[in-house]
């Protein structure tokens, strides 16, 4: 326990704000005499890099989560059971989900230490679904010059054999060892540009969107490795949503995860491997 919070790995579990504590809204009354009376339930996720308490009001969080799951359900309901969704419909639905997530996550991200140009986390293993890869592929084709595409292809070529194949990443223990060993190699993401910024920021994968630190930037280095992160309901909604959209798109329907038990999860490959043959098509080999 640190600062009243239980730590599980590097993910922190929130605690409820006590009745006698100062009200999180800043009214200078106690919580019980202020927001608790209005039925507002705050949870404290701990202190961020600026020593501020990360205070989240539960009903607001639930509302934002429901907006995300609502879009996911709408999208899936539109999928004809036999034919599934078209790729273009999947692209638009995923982009809509990204927009919704970015708005909803602001209740957490206002406390985060992540900034433009901070890129330690862009040396970690990032995997994504076919649908996320397709959104990136389209963005690259529509926005990058041939010369820029060439540069990315060189980075892909240079490092793709150093990236573990998704088939090697079976069993949680082995997986975390492999991911740790990958991070120790400090291989940059192929989309990290010379300014140390994400070249595909608008369409970056779900894993990058949900990876958010609340500790100081220096805690994110491989050597220090003490970053403080929070698993948010909206992040979980986005992860499930991207999986669901991918498995409901006709062209990607058969791209399921190795885990045959649920048969629900979309296949996830590394950001390196979807584009190993360039940007005319994503690599759909299993």
Interface with ligand SF4 (CB under 6 A): 113-114, 118, 120-122, 126, 189, 191-192, 198, 200, 204-205, 208, 211, 213, 217, 220, 227
CB 116 within 8 A of CB 257: no
Binding-site partner at residue 153 among ligand SF4, Zn ion, none, CB < 5 to 8 Å by type: none
Q: Which two tokens mark 247? A: 């498995």
Binding-site partner at residue 120 among ligand SF4, Zn ion, none, CB < 5 to 8 Å by type: ligand SF4
Work out how close the CB of 118 gets to ligand SF4 at its nearest, in angstroms, rounded to a whole number: 3
Among 2, 13, 27, 226, binds Zn ion (CB under 5 A): 27
Return phi, psi of residue 246, to 5°.
-60, -45
Distance CA 233, CA 61 (A): 8
Output 104 or 227, the one with its CB closest to ligand SF4: 227
Distance CA 95, CA 89 (A): 10
Work out how close the CB of 37 gets to ligand SF4 at its nearest, in angstroms, rounded to a whole number: 37
Work out how close the CB of 50 gets to ligand SF4 at its nearest, in angstroms, rounded to a whole number: 13
CB 277 within 8 A of CB 125: no
Binding-site partner at residue 213 among ligand SF4, Zn ion, none, CB < 5 to 8 Å by type: ligand SF4
Return phi, psi of residue 247, to 5°.
-75, -10
Q: What is the residue whose two structure tokens read 């740790």?
A: 180
Distance CA 167, CA 188 (A): 21
Q: Which two tokens mark 271? A: 């950001």
Output 205 or 235, the one with its CB closest to ligand SF4: 205
Residues that bind Zn ion in the complex, under the rule CB under 5 A:
23, 25, 27, 34-35
């Amino acid at each position: 326990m640190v600062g009243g919070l239980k730590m599980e790995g590097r993910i922190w579990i929130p605690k409820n704000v006590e009745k006698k504590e100062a009200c999180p809204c800043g009214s200078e009354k106690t919580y019980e005499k202020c927001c608790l009376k209005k039925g507002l339930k705050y949870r404290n996720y701990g202190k961020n890099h600026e020593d501020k308490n990360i205070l989240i009001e539960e009903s607001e969080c639930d509302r934002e989560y429901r907006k995300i799951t609502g879009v996911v359900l709408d999208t899936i309901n539109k999928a004809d059971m036999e034919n599934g969704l078209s790729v273009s419909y999947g692209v638009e639905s995923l982009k809509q989900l990204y927009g919704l997530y970015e708005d909803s996550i602001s209740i957490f991200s206002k406390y985060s230490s992540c900034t433009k140009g901070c890129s330690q986390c862009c040396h970690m293993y990032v995997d994504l679904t076919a649908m996320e890869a397709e959104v990136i592929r389209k963005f690259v084709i529509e926005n990058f010059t041939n010369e820029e595409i060439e540069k990315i292809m060189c980075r892909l070529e240079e490092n793709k054999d150093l990236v573990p194949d998704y088939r090697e990443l079976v069993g949680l223990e082995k997986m975390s060892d492999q991911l740790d060993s990958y991070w120790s190699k400090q291989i940059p993401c192929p989309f990290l540009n010379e300014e140390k910024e994400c070249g595909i920021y608008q369409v970056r994968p779900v894993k990058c969107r949900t990876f958010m630190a609340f500790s100081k930037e220096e805690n994110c280095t491989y050597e220090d490795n003490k970053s403080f992160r929070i698993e948010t309901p909206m992040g979980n909604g986005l992860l499930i949503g991207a999986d669901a959209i991918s498995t409901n798109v006709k062209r990607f329907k058969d791209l399921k995860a190795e885990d045959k038990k649920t048969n629900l999860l979309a296949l996830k490959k590394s950001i390196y491997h979807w584009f190993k043959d360039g940007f005319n098509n994503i690599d759909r080999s299993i």
